[in-house]
Amino acid sequence: MYAVIGEALGNEARKRFFDPARLYHIGLCVKDIDAAVKFHEDVLGIGPFERKEVNFATATYYGETVGYRGKRAFAQMGDIMLELIGLIDGQTIQADFMEKRGEGLHHLGFEIDDLKECMAEAQRRGLIITQSFMREDGSGFAYFNSDTTGGLIIEVVQKMKPVK
């Protein structure tokens, strides 16, 4: 199936709409952020973790604005960041994942320069935006469906520009 999609796109359209070399984080869904941080720090030696609560009031879920709140913990592992993801409330693809599969590897996150353009190109290529959030400055994130990516969810992130 993947070869057929590639052949149908042609060489020009096969150009990357995000750069795989810009992988910068791995996201894991966890039931208990505190327990997961303790395990990763004490047993695996990963850390220290920066913890934060997130509130994405205007986040979309399959195109509908639903919003959600969650807990996150981040730690560097060389060039790659580990993101632990917990849910406080709201409807999210992470909650869906936890319900179907339990804790585990949820997504690979790639940094991009233009979220709007990346989302538009993903849709032109037949990918479904399962969840997204965009700030007024254009920064934010989008997740693509995993049905056509081997079961792995892809996240693209346009980081906020530093305040001068």
Identity of residue 64: E
Class (C level, CATH) for 18-158: alpha beta
Is the predicted pLDDT of residue 161 greater than 80, yes or no? no
pLDDT tens-digit profile of 57-108? 999 999 999 999 999 999 999 999 999 999 999 999 999 999 999 999 999 9
Q: Which DSSP symbol is given to 146?
A: S
pLDDT of residue 84: 98
Contact 56, 128 (CB under 8 A): no
Contact 59, 66 (CB under 8 A): yes
Note the pTM of the prediction, 2 decimals: 0.85
Instruction: Kindly list the domain boundaries of the chain, sorted by start residue.
Output: 18-158
Is the predicted pLDDT of residue 109 greater than 50, yes or no? yes
Contact 36, 28 (CB under 8 A): yes
